[in-house]
Structure 1
Amino acid sequence: MPAAAFFVSLLSLTCALALPTQSTGIAIPIHKRIPPNTSPGVANIPSLRAQINKLTGKYATTLAAYKANTGQAYPIAASSTRNTTKRATSGGLMLTDAREELWFGTVSVGTPPRQYTIDFDTGSSDLFIPASSCMNCGSHTHYNPRLVSTSKYLGKTFQLVYGDGSTTSGELYSDTVTVAGLTATDQTLGAATSYSTSFETGPADGLMGLAFPSLSTYPASPFFNTLVSQKKVSAGVFSFFLAESGSELYLGGSNQARYKGPISWNTVTERGYWEIPLDSIQVDGETVVSGLQSIIDSGTTLIVGDDANVAAFYQAIPGSQDLSSIVGPGFYGFPCSSALSVSFTFGGKPFAINQQFFNLGSISEGSGTCVGALVAQDFGFWIAGDVFMRNVYSIFDFDNSRVGFAALA
């Protein structure tokens, strides 16, 4: 198939240099999984707690994979996080489960092809779907290698151990995987024989990681990297446009109809996560923290930072308060009536955060205190999830090891 740029259209999903001209893409519908709120305008506190637990486990897993693949600990990971990864490598990788907000769409696997709904995650690197032998995978579409002519058993197993004691585990195969008309052959994937509660009951059948190969727990080349090595795309670049409607994942470049103005480029600090410098954060035009490192993660809803700098951020907001005893450790609140002006500066360019994304809702019905989307957890780096990504067009460039942001069209 000729090398070309393709995009994946996401429905209900919410720099100074142009990329080469892209060809017309192929669109497939993708949706956003959103846990229901207790009532409109009220924060879903159990979901927020679960998201932090899941995030902690996810990074324990990928940090352990990085160390196993490179022979060294991830350079800027906090010592406490490194200790977690050591525990994670013994008897199965630790990962805490949650019914989190994630972006998902349809891919096909095998010959003849069968379609699966997959979460797209720039914070991890592996692909897994439920196996036909799975007894607790709910009503999901199952993968039966015996019915697929292109399937090959790799003689290896994988296991992810969740904080609630449940697991996602199974066997590794290689097969043909297609997204939006782009096909990777001999792609390593996990066929899960046991699923965690979240994947058992959630709308997505599995997950596809879009980070660097050094985070693979299998280890193996991630799907998009396989496309690049097999010359199925014209560029080792993919992009996200996250919005209330018409959103998309664009494989092979960027969709210039989705952004305007120059792209602010940021060099990747370490080829594992999509880690880049976060110059500074502003509240009401005043810089409150600066000199940070951040990971751009589509598989994370929240923005997460270290304790000291997150505390300094909220101190700049009149009436803010620590909500650790109400919502959970690291959460803060602010008056719902506040007209917040928050911006993140990458590559010398500030990007405003829309208040409707930063405000997660009041702590209870009728309360005047709202939960902020910036949460304190000491990973040793910051994590910018879709609360940030919804405000920009995000471009992930393997070819040049960089991440670009541009203003939305």
Structure 2
Amino acid sequence: MQIKLSVALLALVPLLAAASPAPSPAPPVAKVPVARRSFTKENGVADIEALKAHVLEVQTKIGRGFDNFKANTGKVHPNDNGVRPAPVKRSPVKRATGKVTLTDDLDGDLWQGGVSVGTPLSAFTVDFDTGSSDFFLPGPKCTTNCQGHKVFQTGSSSTAVDQHKTFSIEFGDGSTVAGEIFKDTVSLGGLVATGQAVVAATQYSEGFAIANSPPDGLLGMAFQSIANTGDSPVFPTLVSQGKTSSSVFGFTLLDDGGELFLGGTDTTAFTGSLTFTPLIVTNPPAFWEISVSSASVGATKVVTRAQDAIVDTGTTLLIVDPTSATAIHNKIPGAASAARTVGQGFFTIPCNEIPSNVGFTIAGKTFTLSADTLNFGPVSEGSNSCVSGIMGANEGFWILGDVFIRNTYTEFDFGNERVGFAPVVLK
């Protein structure tokens, strides 16, 4: 059967009976609407402080993933360059809520949707992040930065089991998310996992305070080897328990109707066929890491050497190494370094000449960025210099964030350890 989750309705669509004897029904697939928030201020100007804070959080998250990989496997991740950013205190930043149903933090930071936990089930909103692997919500003991979020009342769930283990991760502003690890029932798009690790936070970082992050928590969708808890993330649990028809999930990140599709392929969301590329497997796999063979501006290849890259819904920008970022922007008329006006690694592009011919080639197929996804708005009110969605930083690999993903239907395949892309259908 197929399960579709809409704003407030779960509709069951039975499979038609086939010839006798009838085969066993396939496990269901599910759709979860997802919506986004914006990095652009109400006047249309780029929210530079929020962008810089986001980059710091991404850098901290990647470093945390490397550290978790070493703790869980005893090995250093091959892309770990040892660089960890110093914490930078920030002031809370109010972020506008988008109007769509899969909402993102910061115009493509993290994409939020619904999940339910416990017995009886209680609904929460979470950010879906393919660049991390832990699942946490505010717990009943949380008094720091949890106000305004819905609380995971562990004592009210008959299936919540305290694992008597603690959880603590640091964020880019130096604050932490800390908590207690429970196992409980989790329903994602109507697909139900049992005995799933869920962190009941006793403290939230400033970045998760309600003024900065409206969703209640975060649900990681990468591999177990980078989970701080050391436990299986939600989707692999659904797969191992036979709750999905296949070990794939896909994202469409559209302003007017984003979606997380679980346990199958949403063939209505893209044109043509999916182009698959295998993961660069670290044994065990960690991030959704692939190879990008080249980057181009128009017909000119500006990066010709293959680059390792992770596919991350939890990063709003498209982050490449500084040399590649410079090479790309040198071929865009009017582009310039914005190190002094925006921040190190950022670039600007003339607002009236945003290109739509910047492409990245994966498994022989070139995927181009739309002008809309590349443009983060003017540096200041009345300026003709707009912040580019491509920046340069040394993270150990490129990060194909939402600047890239918003142009594709992106499928993540746990079973075959690969990622697939196809041009997205705009609604």
Question: Structure 1, unaligned stretches of length 5 or more?
Answer: 12-20, 89-95
How far is the alpha carbon of 1:273 from its aligned partner? 0.6
Correspondence 1:137-156 to 2 at 5 A:
137-156=146-165
**Superposition deviation, residue 128 in structure 1:** 0.3
State the partner residue of 2:17: none
CA RMSD of aligned residues (A): 2.5
Give 1:54's aligned residue: 57
Give the Cα separation in 1 of the matches to 2:2 and 2:335. Answer: 45
Q: Distance in 2 between matches of 1:149 and 1:129?
A: 17
* Aligned CA distance change for structure 1 residues 387 and 47 (closer, same or farther; 3 Å): same
96-105 or 189-198: bigger deviation: 96-105
| Corresponding residue of 1:107 | 115
- The answer to whether the Cα contact below 8 Å between 2:28 and 2:263 also exists between their aligned partners in 1 is no
Contact between 1:354 and 1:391, CA under 8 Å: does it hold in 2? yes
Partner of 2:78: 75
1:375 maps to 2:396: no
Matched, 1:315 2:319: no
CA–CA separation in structure 2 for the residues paired with 1:393 and 1:97: 33
In structure 1, what residue type is equivalent to 2:143? M
1:302 to 2:317 alignment: yes
Are positions 1:135 and 2:139 aligned together? no
Kept in 2: contact 1:107–1:118 (CA 8 A): yes
What is the CA distance between 1:165 and its match in structure 2? 3.3
Pairwise mapping of residues 259-408 of structure 1 onto structure 2 (< 5 A)? Answer: 259-270=270-281, 271-290=285-304, 291-340=306-355, 341-408=357-424
Structure 1 residue 37 corresponds to structure 2 residue 41: yes
Instruction: Give 3-state SS (helix, strand or coil) of 2:150's partner.
Output: coil
Contact 2:128 2:219 in 1 (8 A): yes
Q: Residues 360 and 367 of structure 1: is their aligned pair in 2 closer, same or farther, counting only changes over 3 Å?
A: same
Task: Give 1:251's aligned residue.
Answer: 262
Aligned to 1:84: 84
Structure-2 change in CA distance of 1:113 and 1:244 (3 Å): same
CA deviation digits over 1:204-250, x for unaligned, max 9? Answer: 00000000111101110000010011010111100011112232100
Pairing partner for 2:131 from 123, 138, 147: 123
Post-superposition Cα deviations, 1:292-347, rounded to whole Å, max 9, x if no partner, equal: 11110001110001111111111112222111111011001122222512111111
| In 2, Cα distance between equivalents of 1:310 and 1:170 | 38
1:305·1:382 contact (CA, 8 Å) conserved in 2? yes
Q: In percent, how many aligned pairs have the same letter? A: 39
Correspondent of 1:213 among 224, 227, 243: 224
Q: Secondary structure at the match of 1:33?
A: coil
| Distance verdict in 2 for CA 1:226–1:378, change over 3 Å | same
TM-score normalised by length of structure 1: 0.89
- Of 241, 244, 249, 1:233 maps to 244
- Asked whether the 8 Å contact 1:9–1:248 carries over to 2, the reply is no
1:191 aligns with 2:168: no
Aligned residue pairs total 387
TM-score scaled by length of structure 2? 0.85
Any residues of structure 2 matched to 1:173-188 within 5 Å, and which?
A: 173-188=182-197
Question: Hey, what's the Cα distance between the residues in 2 that align with 1:300 and 1:326?
Answer: 22
Partner of 1:298, secondary structure, is coil
Q: Deviations over 1:178-212 (max 9, x none)?
A: 01110110001110011122322121000000001
Query: Per-residue CA shift, 1:83-134, capped at 9, x if unaligned?
Result: 429x99xxxxxxx998642211111100011111111000000100000111
> Gaps spanning 5+ residues in structure 2: where?
9-24, 96-104
Q: 1:115 to 1:164 in 2, by over 3 A?
A: same
Q: Distance in 2 between matches of 1:228 and 1:342?
A: 37
Q: Which has the higher contact order (CA 8 A, sep 6+)?
A: 1
- Paired with 2:389 and 2:6, the residues of 1 have a C-alpha distance of 26
**More deviation in 191-200 or 216-225?**
191-200
